[in-house]
Structures are given as C-alpha cells and as structure tokens.
Amino acid sequence: MSAAIVAGLLAGYGIAIPVGAVGAYLVALTARTSLRVGAAAALGIATVDGGYAIAAVLGGAALAGSIEPYAQPLRWASAAVLLVMAAVGAVAAARRHRAAPTKDVVDPQEPRQETPARAFVTFLGITAINPLTVVYFAALVLGSGARLAQGAEAVVFVAAAFAASASWQLLLAGGGALLGRFVTSPRGRLTTAWVSSAVIVVLAVRMIVTGGE
C-alpha cells in the first residue's frame, strides 16, 4: 500500500510541478482576485489530473487479464514513454528559456467578476484539453502491471496523485504574486520543468528496477 502512495504522489507532482501557461494564469488570477478564487481554480486543475488518473486506472483494470502475459514488455515500453516525456519537457523548457519571452503569463482581461465556481469550471476546462496528461498516467499504470490496476491500491494511487496535484496548485494559489514572481519567470519555468523531468525519470527508473511494485 505504501508503494501505491509513493507512486501516486510522485505521479501527481511529476505532472503538476512544471509551471506553464495554466500555472502562470492561476498565480495571476489569485493575485488579482482572492485566495478563495485561486483555491477553486487550483482544485479545478487537480480534479482533471485526478480524473485522468482514474481513467488510466480503469483502463488498466479492464485490460488487466489480457496484459499480464506482456507485463515485462509493457513495463519497458511505459518506462521509455516516460523517459521521452522527461527529455522532451526538459529540452522544450531550455528552448523557451533561451528565447526569453518578455511576457508569457496568460492573463486575459475579464470584464465580469470572477467567482470560485467560475474559476473552478474555467480551469477544469483549460486543463482537460491537454491529452498528454492521460498518456502520462496510462504509461504509469500499464508500467505498474495489473496489480496496481485493481483493488485498494488503485484507489490509493489515484487519491495520492490528486492530493499531490492539489497541494502544488494550492501552493501556487496561496503564494499569489510573491511566489508567482519566481515560478512564472523564465528561470522559474526552467527550474520547475527540470524538476518535473527529474521526477518523471525517477518514476521510469523505479518502474524498471522494482518491476512495477
């Protein structure tokens, strides 16, 4: 059970930590409105991450019996997908950093008053359109084998992934403009992207070394 908790936490932080346009918008929105609005937006992001984790686990459960004979090749393929994602993320972050954009925070003007409910729905929608998240969780679940795709450990994995994503997004919202000056700067985005890539590499290596346990 503890292994599922660790895997879920690492998975959640791995997908949540890199601060892109959505994270930057979250910080800007919180600084402009209130912590309640920012917290609602943060939970909208985490809800999508948790939902994609559930989708990946349910898909793994449905395939559990049929994929068991191919567990080892799937584990290596999943680890390869994660390593490619880590490399692509790190390289893309380095290129963006070299480009040094003068303004990269998504902060559209909003003539209407922002409410927690509206912020939740808005961030739920803009996060859900990124299909890379479900690919990421699917690689983790399939690489972990049929055991994780069933029973209490699957529930623990999803809960831990949601908690990790929610805690990071709430940290961004809670930090507001102060934290935003660092994490949304070119150097901050480079740092968070590299941290995320390092976490994903750890997940891939752990998957290979422990055999998905």
Mean pLDDT of the 116-140 span: 82
Q: Which residue carries 């346990």 as its tokens?
A: 213
Give the pLDDT confidence score for residue 70 in this predicted structure. Answer: 59
- Integer Cα distance of 37 and 119 in angstroms: 6
Q: Is pLDDT above 60 for 68? A: no
pLDDT band at 106 (very low <50, low <70, confident <90, very high): very low
- Across 20-24, 66-70, 107-111, least confident range: 107-111
Q: To which residue do tokens 């791995």 refer? A: 14
Q: What is the pLDDT of residue 99?
A: 77
Instruction: Give me the pLDDT at residue 118, please.
Output: 93
Answer for the pair 158, 50: CB distance below 8 angstroms, yes or no: yes
Count of CB atoms situated within 10 Å of the CB of 95: 9
What was the pLDDT predicted at 164? 93
Quick one: average pLDDT of 196-202? 80
Place 42 in a pLDDT band, splitting at 50, 70 and 90.
Answer: very high
Q: Residue by residue, what is the 3-state secondary structure of the chain?
A: CHHHHHHHHHHHHHHHCCCCHHHHHHHHHHHHCCHHHHHHHHHHHHHHHHHHHHHHHHHHHHHHHHHHHHHHHHHHHHHHHHHHHHHHHHHHHHHHHHHCCCCCCCCCCCCCCCCHHHHHHHHHHHHHCCCHHHHHHHHHHHHHCCCCCCHHHHHHHHHHHHHHHHHHHHHHHHHHHHHHHHHCCHHHHHHHHHHHHHHHHHHHHHHHHHCCC
Residue 65 pLDDT class (50, 70, 90 cuts): low
| pLDDT for the residue numbered 105 | 46
Assign 32 a pLDDT band (cuts: 50, 70, 90). Answer: confident
Q: What is the pLDDT of residue 111?
A: 43
pLDDT value of position 108: 46
pLDDT of residue 59: 75
**What band does 96 get if pLDDT is binned at 50, 70 and 90?**
confident
Domain boundaries, the chain: 2-104+114-210
